Amino acid sequence: MGEYRQGGTTKFGNMRSILIVNPNSTESMTNGLKPLVDSLQFKDTAHEYFTAPSGPKSINNEDDAAESVSHCLPGLQAVLDQHDGYLVACYSHHPLVPLLKEQSAVKKSRKPVTGIFEASVGASLQIIHPEEKFGIVSTGKVWEKILSEAVVGFLGIGSEASKRFAGVETTGLNATDLHDAPPEEVRKRMKDAVKRLLKKGKIGAICLGCAGMSGMDSMVREACVEELGEDEGHGIRIVDGVQAGVAWLEGAVRAGW
């Protein structure tokens, strides 16, 4: 798997290529996504990575998300003709998703674009049973309101789909804290948030509501088992937005959607 570097001229020939965009400027977060993508084993697709060259180190609110656009868009515009699909790896209703769809190199060829938020919500609705709901575990408390409103907006106010959303619980840590804070503190906060979410109804799926949570599904599983017991706890589906987004884009690119 190659890695896109700003200003590069990578060519892929006939191989499919998906660009995974980290709109914050912390390269270690980008690197943390690679094992998750590789584990999907789409070996005949090149997965390239773009990290914002400057701007917020961590996207902790809507203002950070908006600011990140100006730091990302110039570099992205230079490579939009090199890839077949695009994933914005920030768990928010990120403005880069609609903006990339409107870029001429993307719009003309109708190249698929999604965000990890949209991909995980869509995947959750498809894997839960009719009597179940899905929820989100995210970082700072500010995301409880932001993501709740984003889900309702994405699914439609009053829609049957939106009624299957249980809500958002948060850890109180930001995206960089997830990797910089003491591991036991991170584990405790993740598990506490999951257990609060599980008390909100019959939960069938939990979305990891931050790209920085990628790879932390073991903590979520541990909390599910502690709260619900072995059988029911292992039945909860844990949805990683990065994997959901890459899988959806792989299908969309293959199908020519």
Mark whether 70 and 159 lie in a shared domain: no
pLDDT of res. 5:
37
pLDDT of res. 244:
97
Kindly state the tokens that stand for 223. Answer: 């909390």
Structural domain contains residue 38:
yes
Mark whether 126 and 177 lie in a shared domain: yes
Structural domain contains residue 47:
yes
Q: Show the CA angle centred on residue 80, arms to residues 16 and 211, nearest 5°.
A: 80
Q: Residue 37 region, left (φ>0) first, then alpha (ψ -120 to 50), else beta? A: alpha
Q: How many domains does the chain have?
A: 2
Could you tell me the mean pLDDT of each successive run of 10 residues in the chain, 257 residues long?
A: 37 82 94 94 96 94 95 96 96 95 95 97 96 96 94 89 94 86 93 97 96 89 97 97 97 93
Are the C-beta atoms of residues 137 and 178 closer than 8 Å to each other? Answer: no
Structural domain contains residue 3:
no
Mark whether 74 and 99 lie in a shared domain: yes
pLDDT of res. 198:
98
Mark whether 122 and 236 lie in a shared domain: yes
Mark whether 51 and 167 lie in a shared domain: no
Q: Show the CA angle centred on residue 218, arms to residues 215 and 222, nearest 5°.
A: 155
Structural domain contains residue 194:
yes
Q: What is the CATH number of the domain that holds 108?
A: 3.40.50.12500
Contacts of 60 by beta carbon, 8 Å cutoff, 6+ apart? 139, 140, 142, 174, 175
Order the strands of the 237-240 sheet from edge to edge: 165-170, 133-138, 203-208, 237-240
Mark whether 68 and 123 lie in a shared domain: no
Mark whether 79 and 65 lie in a shared domain: yes
Structural domain contains residue 75:
yes
Are the C-beta atoms of residues 121 and 95 closer than 8 Å to each other? Answer: no
Mark whether 47 and 31 lie in a shared domain: yes
Backbone angles phi, psi at 15, to 5 degrees: -75, 140
Structural domain contains residue 9:
no
Structural domain contains residue 49:
yes
Mark whether 83 and 30 lie in a shared domain: yes
Query: Would the pTM of this model clear 0.85, i.e. be above it?
Result: yes
Q: What is the CATH number of the domain that holds 218?
A: 3.40.50.1860
Mark whether 126 and 98 lie in a shared domain: no
H or E stretch at 4 = none
DSSP state, residue 170: E
Q: What distance separates the 2 farthest-apart alpha carbons in the chain?
A: 52
Mark whether 52 and 123 lie in a shared domain: no
Q: Residue 158 region, left (φ>0) first, then alpha (ψ -120 to 50), else beta? A: left
Mark whether 248 and 236 lie in a shared domain: no
Range of the domain at 162: 117-241
Structural domain contains residue 4:
no
DSSP state, residue 162: G
